[in-house]
Chain A
Amino acid sequence: MAKLLLRRARTLLIVIPVIILVIIFWQARTLRSDNFVFYLPNASHVVPVQAIGHANYVPLLQVLNIVGKVQGLTAARDSLKIWLEDNQIEVRQDDKKVRIMKKNIKLSDPVRVDNGQWMVPLNFIEAALPQIIREPVVYRLGSRRAFIGDVRPSSFSFRLEPIPNGSRLILQFTDKVNLRTASRNGKWVIYLGEKPVQPLEQKFNFQDAYLANIQFDDQDGMPKLILTPSSDGLNFYPKLDDSGKTLMADMVKPAAAVAQQNPPVQTTPTPGAAAPPIVAPGAATPAAPSGPALPVVVLDAGHGAEDSGARGENGVLEKDIVAQLVARVRNALLATNKYRIVLTRVGDVNPSLDQRAATANGARPEVFITFHAGNLGIRAPRIVVYTYQPSSSATPSADDRSPGIFIPWATAQLSQLARSQQFAHALQEKFAGISGVTVSPPAVAPMRVLRSVNAPAVAVELGSLTTDVDSSPLTNPNFQEEISNAIVQALDDFKGRQS
C-alpha cells in the first residue's frame, strides 16, 4: 500500500509541475506577433496581429478607428458595444457572433479579450467590415493586408536573366513606381514607393546562382522587396527605365581589383524616377552634405507614432500629412543649396515637445517651422501661420528681450518674438500667392512647442483636417509643392530684410 502511494506520489511530482508550466506559459504562447496593413485611398495603417490559440487576431478598436470614428462604447464584463458613425457593433467574449445593426454575422473564431484588449479573428475583415463601412474591402485570405475603398493596388512580375559574371533581375510593375534602394545587413531592399502593392504570390520560387531569395514585405506599411544575395561581395546596380515601370537590377561579381577597395554591397540611388523622391517614414535622413557655413532651417513635423494628431476623411492622419509636407519642404530648401536642414523627427516617431525644442536650439537655426493640420472651419484649403503667445498676460520684459548668458528654457521664445512675427508675415505674404487657398493674417497661439525655441519660430497649420470636411486638397502633391516653394521664397525675403 505504502509502496503504491509512493509510486503515485512520484507520478504526481512529474505531472503537477508539467501542468503548472503549461498554465504559466499558455499566455506567453500568444505573444508571438506581427502586423496587418490596411490601405486606404490616402493612407496606410498598421495594426499588430496576435496569435491566440490556432487563429490570428487583430485588436477590434484599432481596426474600427482606421475605418471610421468611434463615437462611443460601453464595455461590460463580457460584452462590448461600439457606436461607429451610424452603426452599432456588439461583440461578446468567447462568442463567434458579431451583431452589426441587429444583424448577426458569424466569424471563424470566437472574439477574445487579451490583456484588456478586445480581439477579433482576421476573418472579421472580410466577413464583418464590409457590413460596417459599406465600402469595398479587398482582402486575400492568408495575406496580411487589406484594401479599403477605392484603392487599386499595383502588382509586379519578375524574371531573372544570366549576364556575364552575374544575374539580371527584371521587375515589371503594373503602375509607375517611385523607387528607392538601400542595403541592410547584407541584403538589398527595394522600396516600392508609397502606393499599395499586392504581390501575385506569397512566396517566390526560383533558382539562381547569385540571388538566393526574394521576399515581399509591407509589415511596416511600406511596400518593399528584400533581396538576399547568394554570397557576400556582389555588387548591386538597380536602374529604373524611363517609363518608371521596369526595374533592371544587375547583381554582378566585382572584378578582383575593384572588390578589394570597395565595400561588398553598393547602394545606388535610382535615376530616372520622375517624381521627386519623398523621404519614406522610418528611413534615415542624414543632414545635407553642405558646407558648414550654411544657415540651418529646422523643420518639425508635428505628432508621430501613437499620437496621430487630427484625423480627416478617409482616415488621413495629421502625422502623415505633415511628414509628407516636411519631406517636400526639405527637398525644396535643399535644392537651393542655401540651407542645411535639420529634422526634429525622422520617420514615425514622437519625440517630446522639449526634445524637439532641444534639437532646434542645438542646431542654432535661422528659423524653426513646425507643421500641423487641424480643424480650420469649412473653407478648405486654408493656411494659418502662428507665432507664440504667452498663455498668461505677461508680456516680454526687458530682461527677456536682452538675454544674458543664460536664457530661461521655459521662456526662450519671448526674446525672439519680434523676429518670429516678421517671418510669419513673410510666410503669410507668400502663401497668399497660392491660388485657391484662404490665408488668414498671422495669428498668435499658446503653442507649447514654440515656447522653448531660441530662434525665430512659427507654426504652420493647414486645414481643414476633420472628419466632416473634404481634406483631399491637403494631400495633393501640387498643393504641397506650392507651399514648399512659398516657404523658400519667404525665407529669402526674411533673410533679405534681416541683412
Chain B
Amino acid sequence: MSVAAPKLRPEPRHTGERARPAHRPAARPPHVPRSTPSQRARRRSSPAFWVLTAIVVTVLIAGIVSISALLVRASFRVETIRETLSALQAEHAELTIEAVTLSAPSRIADWARNRGMVRAGDVQVLRVGGGAPA
C-alpha cells in the first residue's frame, strides 16, 4: 500500500524581493492637502458663485416663462384664427346662399317683368350674299 507523499510548499525564491511579513503595518493614506476652515468659508460664500447661479437660474426661469408665454400667445392666435376661419366660412356659406337665391332665374324674371322688360327675340340669321346662312 502506497501513501502519497505530502506536497511540499515551494520555498520562496530569492529574487531580491523581501518576503512580505504576515502583518504589515497599515499603509499611510496619500497626502491630501486639507483645506483650512477659512478656505472653506471663503469658497461657500464666494459671491461669484452665487451671482453665476442666480444668473443661470434667472435666465432659465426667464426662458421658460418666455417660451410658455410665446406658446400661450401662439395658442391664442391659433384660436383667434380658428374662430375667424369659422366665422368666415359661415359668412361665405350665407353669402353663397344669398347670391344663389338672388340669381335664381324666377326671381330675376319676376324682377324684370315688373319693370316692363320682355323676353329677347329670336336669333336673326343673316344670309351673306344670298348664300348659306351665316
Bind each other: no
Binding site for B on A (CB under 8 A): none
